[in-house]
Amino acid sequence: MNVPAAVEMLRQGQVPAFPAEATKRTFAEKLDAQDELRHLRGQFNIPTKSSLRKKALTSKLNGSSPDTAPRSNGKQNGVQNGDIHDDSDDDEPSIYLVGNSLGAQPKAVRQYLDAQLDTWASIGVNGHFNGFEDSPLVPWQDMAEDCATKSADIVGASPSEIVIMNTLTANLHFMMASFYRPTGKRHKIILEWKPFPSDWYAIDSQIRWHGLDPAKSMVEIQPDDDFCIPTERILSVIDQHADETALLLLPGIQYYSGQFFDIPRITRYAQERGIVVGWDLAHAAGNVELRLHDWNVDFAVWCTYKYINAGPGAIAGAFVHQRHGQVEPQQDGQFVFRPRLAGWYGGDKSVRFNMDKTFQPTPGAGGFQVSNPSAIDLASLSAALSVFSQTSMSALRSKSLFLTAYTEYLLNDILASQSATGDKQPPFRIITPKNPLERGTQLSVLLRPGLLEHVGKALKEGSVVCDQRKPDVIRVAPVPLYCTFSDVWRFAEIFRRAIETSA
């Protein structure tokens, strides 16, 4: 199979035809051998069969010392001689397909955290302004800005439009405090039918904070029968409520269905009607190519513990377009800038330690920062971003498109074999859009009612780590940084057996 040609087809929104041999383990191994990003997997600690069962901390990390690279034994992630469920070596990596919930741990994290702890222990408070020559970290005072610079390619923005602070929902509140400015006429927020619960709580509470009624100020866009929301439906809802809408707030990728929204078109359409546009990129940042500045997005927020791999509850990011981050000095010594919730770490570094009562925000997104960010969190994020510096979002997206298409092909092959048995009701269906351009590296599989417990148990026994959304959905995310085509093949075979034994 011509992989570059297949990737180019996928980038054009077309699904390539896989050969009949694509269902074989040897085909997956051939794809792995051609993968130009396969070296990146060695940058991560992938949970092993044995480590997933651990009940206590040990001195060994996933079967090896922390500084030891994964050993090669001729196997592809535990697959040997065609065996799908080989328990002969518990130190084999699991099949980790859950980066849409929590990314695997970059090995660099341990080094970066050690550097941070050594700095703190060695020079104490001076670590804010001084660093060590052999440290991978900049002084604490500059770490958030450094991480913003390293995030520029991931979200498609200039470093000055990015601020690393807080966590996702906190940033959503901070952005809405500045950008949701309801009036008597314009007070509505347009959102989608099934936002992540935290987003719903944030939107609902912001509306109530302004003394408004969510029943009147929240407009939900309903999906079609496949749980997706066509772009034309979004534009239609915008038209219906344009004169009364203050804010459009949507996810870049919908967490349940995996749908990737047309961010530039929707943003442009809403802004032409006087609506401020914000995006929650929790499932998009580090997953798909973004061009937030070029798309003229007003603001966006994202977490860094999913596809960016900075660790559970990791420090988050926000984008503020440069037109909203301007700071204009006045003759009276005051400054004109976009209203926001302010704190001293949003103050310009040139005057931050003057302890003056006049707030002079840092120009750009940095002026929306409030508190001194955790150096521990920033060290972990900096480590995760160091892996991204070894590739590009374009290269990751290319592999993601092909890896996800291969996953889809194998799942469809299972459906075809089930259809041949005469089963009238398919055991599952994929609710993520078929168009490669309308999804990231996730396929949401809606199981026939009653199958989730059986399938979930089989996946767990096969050392497959993936996400379940009750009552009937499993979300499969083959992350291109560390997942392989053999991972996907092994998952499909374990899933196939689970379906075949579900009767």
196 marked ligand binding residue: yes
Q: Flag whether the pTM goes above 0.85.
A: yes
199 marked ligand binding residue: yes
Classify strands 218-221 and 162-165 as parallel, antiparallel or unpaired. Answer: unpaired
Written as one string, the DSSP assignment of 255-268 is: TTT-BB--HHHHHH
pLDDT value of position 61? 60
pLDDT value of position 73? 39
For the record, the structure tokens of 396 come out as 């990751």
168 marked ligand binding residue: yes
Written as one string, the DSSP assignment of 275-299 is: -EEEEE-TTTTTTS---TTTTT-SE
Distance CA 326, CA 207 (A): 27
Q: Using 70 as the pLDDT threshold, list the residues of the chain that sit under it.
A: 59-89, 420-423, 503
Distance CA 26, CA 177 (A): 54
pLDDT value of position 89? 66
Distance CA 14, CA 10 (A): 5
279 marked ligand binding residue: no
pLDDT value of position 40? 98
Question: What residues contact residue 503 under an 8 Å CB cut-off, 6+ apart?
Answer: none
pLDDT value of position 441? 97
pLDDT value of position 62? 57
Listed in order, strand segments (DSSP E) in 90-133 are 95-96, 105-106
pLDDT value of position 88? 52
120 marked ligand binding residue: no
For the record, the structure tokens of 496 come out as 């196939």
pLDDT value of position 422? 64
126 marked ligand binding residue: no
402 marked ligand binding residue: no
57 marked ligand binding residue: no
72 marked ligand binding residue: no
Question: What residues contact residue 114 under an 8 Å CB cut-off, 6+ apart?
Answer: none
**80 φ/ψ angles, rounded to the nearest 5 degrees:** -145, 130
